[in-house]
């Protein structure tokens, strides 16, 4: 009965309402990709803010930046670096940043949430086999990320009143994972058709398997 009463008394994680926003972005993309080998760089900046004048029930803004760099190694090998940072003010639940899944392998999808996030991913991939335009590549990776709530005064948030990092010194918002995976490609399609990753969360000391179709950067 106690569990039933607790579920009945629970509230949604965020306030309900209409979310209307505007996003401005700047992108410099000098990448090239062929059979799973990506080279070049990509810079991206974007700013999003709610539009109360158009009926948005939320008042928030967020700023994000990302960087991608790919290097060709020994003709068919590939080293890739991805770095990103995000900051949001009074984000509604549906706009909060998450960590875990294909960007933080070794943890379940969206396992961690926050209004600030930083991530870095390093991958090294190499060819396994190819046949008439179909190819497979193996990869190793290291993922690192940090996400937490900087403030608990968000009026759009009904849960996690004590989620700030400084209120729980024993809790680490810094997560890391390592692992291996594979990617399958068709010569006519730039993006991988299928990806399977086996990640080990260093802090969780546990394995996770992630399957993704049509992976993008």
Average pLDDT per block of 10 residues along the chain, 217 residues long: 51 79 96 88 96 90 97 94 95 91 89 92 94 88 92 69 50 87 81 87 92 72
Residues 51/67/27/36 CA torsion (nearest 10 deg):
-120
Tokens of 34: 């062929």
Specify the pLDDT at position 3: 54
C-alpha distances out from residue 21 to 24, 48, 63, 94, 135, Å: 10, 7, 13, 13, 41
Specify the pLDDT at position 201: 94
What 3-state class would DSSP assign to 7? helix
- Is 216 exposed, middle or buried (CB count within 10 Å of its CB: 0-12, 13-18, 19+)? exposed
Any bridge partners for residue 33, and if so which? 38
Q: What is the Cα–Cα distance from 101 to 110, expressed in whole angstroms?
A: 6
- Judge whether 27 and 42 are in contact, CB under 8 Å: yes
Q: What is the Cα–Cα distance from 179 to 215, expressed in whole angstroms?
A: 17
Helices (H) and strands (E) in the chain, counts: 1, 12
What 3-state class would DSSP assign to 171? coil
The model's pTM? 0.83
Tokens of 191: 């993006």
- Judge whether 181 and 139 are in contact, CB under 8 Å: yes
C-alpha distances out from residue 88 to 65, 157, 161, Å: 12, 13, 17
Any bridge partners for residue 146, and if so which? 118, 174
Specify the pLDDT at position 189: 72
Where residue 90 falls (left for φ over 0; alpha for ψ -120 to 50; beta otherwise) is left
């Amino acid at each position: 009965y106690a569990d039933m009463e607790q579920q009945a008394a629970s509230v949604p994680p965020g306030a309900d309402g209409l979310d209307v926003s505007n996003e401005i972005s700047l992108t410099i993309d000098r990448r090239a990709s062929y059979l799973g080998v990506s080279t070049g760089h990509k810079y991206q900046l974007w700013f999003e803010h709610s539009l109360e004048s158009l009926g948005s029930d939320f008042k928030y803004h967020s700023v994000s930046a990302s960087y991608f760099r790919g290097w060709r190694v020994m003709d068919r090998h590939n080293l890739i670096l991805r770095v990103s940072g995000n900051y949001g003010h009074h984000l509604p639940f549906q706009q909060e940043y998450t960590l875990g899944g294909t960007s933080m392998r070794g943890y379940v999808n969206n396992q961690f949430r926050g209004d600030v996030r930083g991530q870095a991913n390093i991958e090294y991939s190499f060819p396994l086999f190819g046949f008439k335009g179909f190819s497979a590549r193996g990869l190793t990776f290291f993922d690192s990320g940090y996400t937490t709530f900087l403030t608990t005064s968000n009026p759009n948030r009904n849960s996690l009143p004590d989620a700030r990092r400084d209120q729980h010194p024993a809790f680490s918002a810094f997560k890391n994972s390592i692992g291996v995976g594979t990617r399958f490609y068709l010569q006519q399609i730039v993006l991988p058709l299928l990806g399977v990753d086996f990640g080990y969360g260093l802090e969780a000391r546990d394995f996770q398997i992630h399957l993704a179709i049509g992976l993008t950067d």
